[in-house]
Amino acid sequence: MALFKIRRNRGTRNGKPTDVHPVDEVMPPVRMMAYGVQHIAAMYAGVVAPPLIVGEAMGLPPIEMTLLIGASLFTAGLATMLQSLGIWKIGARLPFVNGVTFGSVAPMLAIVAQQGQQHSLSVIYGSVLIAGLLAFLIAPYFSRMVRFFPPVVNGTVITLIGLALMPVGIKWITGTDSSAPDYAAPEKIALGGATFVLVLLFNRFLKGFWNRIALLIGLVVGTLIAWPMGLINTTTIESAPVFNLPTPFALGAPMFDLTATISICIVMLVAMMETTADMVALGEIVDRPADEETIAAGLRADGAGSALSAVFGGFTCSAFAQNIGLVALTRVRSRYVVATAGGVLVLLGLFPIVGAIVSLVPQPVLGGAALVLFGSVATSGIRTLGKSDLGDPFNSLIVAGALGIGLIPVVSPHFYEHFPSALRTVLDSGISTGCIAALLLNMLFNAWRKKSASTEETVGGDTVAVIATTPGETAVPEPRNSPKGSSSESVH
C-alpha cells in the first residue's frame, strides 16, 4: 500500500491516475522542501568536516577555507541530484544522498604532508578525478556482487551500518578532543540527551506532516535550548561571504602523482563497497530492492559525481548512511525529496551565508538526533535478518562472525594501527570489513546450497526433491509426486 497519496494527476489512463511507487512520488513543494531541509540537517556536518580538516592541515586562510567548504556543498548537491534523479544509466533513482566520503580524509592528509601547501590541492584533485573515472568504468562489473547478498548478508550489513555509525553521534555530543576542557561536559551531554528525547517524543505524539519532520523540529528546539547555554558559534556567519560561484579548477588545476592516485583509488573502491551495501539497505527500506542494474547506475553516479567534484573543488563523493536512517525513521521514501535536498545543497554552495546559518546547529544537538537515526538503520537490519533462518546454525555463525569483525574498528579505532597504510584504508572501515566478512562467511557456509539445484531423498517410503535455494536461505524437501493442484514452497 502506498505511503502517500499522489497530489497530482501524473500519468493518466482514461482520466484516472496510475499507481506510483512511493519512491517516485512528487509531493507538494512545501512538503518536499521541509523534508529536504531535514536531510541536509542530518548530513551537513559530514559534508563540511572533511574540507575543514584538510583545509586546516594546509593552513588555508579563512576566505579559501570558505571556498573549499562551499565547493564541497555545491558538488555534494550535484552528486545527490545525479544519484536521485538519474541521467541515462547514471544514478540509482532512489532517495540516496551523496557527499564527501570521510574515508578519504586520511590519505588526503598524507598527500598534504608529502606535497606541502603549494601543490596539495592540485594533487588531490588529480587523484580524485582519476578515481572517479575508474569507478565509473568498473561500475557494471562491481555491481555483480549483488547476487551474493541474500537476506542473511543484507540484514547483517544493514545492522552493522547502524551500529558502526553510533560512535559518530556520540562524538558529536562529547566532542572529539579528549584533552579539551569542555570534552564530555555535562551541559553537552544534557543538550544531546534532551534532543534525543525530544525527537522520540515528537515522533510519538506528532501526527501527519509534523510527524514526518519530527527530526527537524527536534533540531530547531535543541538549537533554541542551546542558545542561552552559550553553545552556539556565530563566527561562521560573521566571516561567510553572501555569494560565491564555484568555477572549474578555481582552487587548483589537477596534478598527477602515482602514489597519491593509488591511495585515492583504494579509497574509491572502499567507498564503492560501502555504497553497494547502502543501496542494498535502502532498497530494503523503501520496498524497491536494488538489483544489479540499479547498483551499477548508482556506482556510476558515485564515479561521475567524484570526477565532477574534482573539477569544481570538491572531494570524493559517496553515499551518506545517516540519511538512510532518516528515510527509515520518517518513512518518506520519495527520491524527489532527496533531489530537492540536492538543490538546496547547491544553493548553500552558491550562498555561503545560508550554509553558515545551517551550521548554527550545535554538534551535541546533531548527536542526540543522530542516535535515533542510526538506531533506525540498525532496526531495519534486524528486520531484514528476520527474513533469513537464524535457527540455522550456519546463518547464525555468519551474523556473529561478520558483526564481530565489523565492530572491531568501531570499538577499538587503533586496533589495526601497526598494519600497512594500504590495508588500513579497508580495515579501518567497520562497514567494509563487516561486509566482506559477511560475503566470505556466506560463501563458506552456504556455497553448497546452489540455487535451484535439487537432490532426491527417500522420506517415509516416498521420493522427494530437496530444493536448495539461494545461499543464506533454507532448503526444504518437496514431494516429487505431489497431488495434482497442490504445491510446496521453499521456506526463506
Please report whether residue 284 resides in a domain.
yes
**Distance between CA 181 and CA 418 in Å, rounded?**
30
Task: Write out the DSSP string of 81-143.
Answer: HHHHH-BTTB---SS--EEE-GGGHHHHHHHHHHHHHHHHHHHHHHHHHHHHHHHHHHHHHHG
Which tops the pLDDT comparison, 453 or 33? 33
Residue 263 in grid coordinates: 591511495
Average pLDDT for the chain: 82
Structural domain contains residue 427: no
Residue 448's pLDDT band, with cuts at 50, 70 and 90, is low
Query: Radius of gyration of the chain from Cα atoms?
Result: 24
Reported pTM: 0.73
Statement to judge: residues 374 and 463 lie in one domain: no
Average pLDDT over residues 9-13: 39
The span from the first CA to the last CA of the chain, in angstroms, equals 23
Looking at the fold, whether 91 and 174 belong to one and the same domain comes out as yes
Domain end call among 357, 389, 421: 389
Task: Name which of 1, 79, 40, 19 is nearest 318 in CA terms.
Answer: 79
Whether 443 maps to a domain, the answer reads: no
Last residue of a domain, one of 345, 367, 389: 389
My answer on whether 454 and 382 are in the same domain is no
pLDDT, one tens digit per residue, over 317-353 is: 888 877 888 898 888 999 999 999 999 999 989 988 8
- 3-class SS letters over 390-405: CCCHHHHHHHHHHHHH
Residue 441 lies in a domain: no
Asked if 279 and 92 count as a contact pair (C-beta separation under 8 A), the reply is yes
H/E run at residue 244: none
pLDDT band of 118, cuts 50, 70, 90: confident
In a domain, 407, yes or no: no
Instruction: Answer positive or negative: Cα dihedral of 443, 448, 449, 452.
Output: positive
475 pLDDT above the threshold of 60: no
What are the counts of helices (DSSP H) followed by strands (DSSP E) for the chain? 18, 7
User: Phi and psi for 453 in degrees, rounded to 5?
Assistant: -75, 145
Separation CA 423–CA 383 (nearest Å): 32
Residues contacting 245, CB < 8 A, separation 6+ = 350
Q: What was the pLDDT predicted at 161?
A: 79
Distance CA 288, CA 291 (A): 9
Does 470 have pLDDT greater than 60?
A: no
Question: Residue 484: its pLDDT value, please?
Answer: 42
Do 29 and 162 reside in the same domain of the chain? yes
**Mean pLDDT over residues 28-49, rounded?**
88
Nearest to 344 by CA among 333, 335, 355: 355
Q: Which band of pLDDT confidence, cut at 50, 70 and 90, is reported for residue 450? A: low
Higher local confidence (pLDDT), 277 or 339: 339
Residue-level pLDDT at 83: 94
On whether both 192 and 75 belong to a single domain, the answer is: yes
* Residue 449 confidence (pLDDT) above 80: no
Q: Which domain holds residue 282?
A: 20-389
Q: Are residues 185 and 272 in the same domain?
A: yes
The candidate with the shortest Cα–Cα distance to 54, out of 127, 110, 119, is: 110
Identify any residues that bridge with 99 across adjacent strands, giving them in sequence order. Answer: 318
DSSP string, 268-327: HHHHHHHHHHHHHHHHHHTT----HHHHHHHHHHHHHHHHHHHHHT---EEE-HHHHHHH
Same domain, yes or no: 90 and 172: yes
Q: Which amino acid is at 239?
A: S
Rounded Cα distance between 131 and 483, Å, is 59
Identify whether residues 306 and 453 lie together within a single domain: no
Task: Read off the pLDDT band of 461 (50, 70, 90).
Answer: very low
Q: Are residues 462 and 331 in the same domain?
A: no
Q: Residue 479: pLDDT above 80?
A: no
Render pLDDT for 70-95 as a digit per residue (tens, 0 to 9): 899 999 999 999 999 999 999 999 99
Q: What is the pLDDT of residue 138?
A: 94
Q: Which of 71, 464, 59 is nearest to 252 (CA)?
A: 71
Q: Is the dihedral of CA 115, 118, 121, 125 positive or negative?
A: negative
Q: What is the pLDDT of residue 11?
A: 39
Whole-angstrom CA distances from 262 to 80, 98, 116, 259, 266 are 26, 22, 19, 5, 6
Is 436 part of a structural domain of the chain? Answer: no
Which residue in this structure is represented by grid cell 565492530?
Answer: 407
Q: Which of 389, 413, 435 is the last residue of a domain?
A: 389
**Same domain membership, residue 470 and residue 348:** no
Same domain? 270 vs 352: yes
Question: Is 136 in the same domain as 238?
Answer: yes
Q: Which residues contact 13 (CB under 8 A, 6 or more apart)?
A: none
Residue 186 lies in a domain: yes
> Cα separation of 334 and 330, whole Å?
11
pLDDT of 490: 34
The grid coordinates of residue 193 equal 540527551
Distance CA 63, CA 385 (A): 49
Mean pLDDT of 214-234: 89
Q: Is residue 403 part of a domain?
A: no
| Domain count along the chain | 2
The set of cell numbers assigned to 370 is 543522530
Angle at 358 between CA 355 and CA 174, to 5 degrees: 125
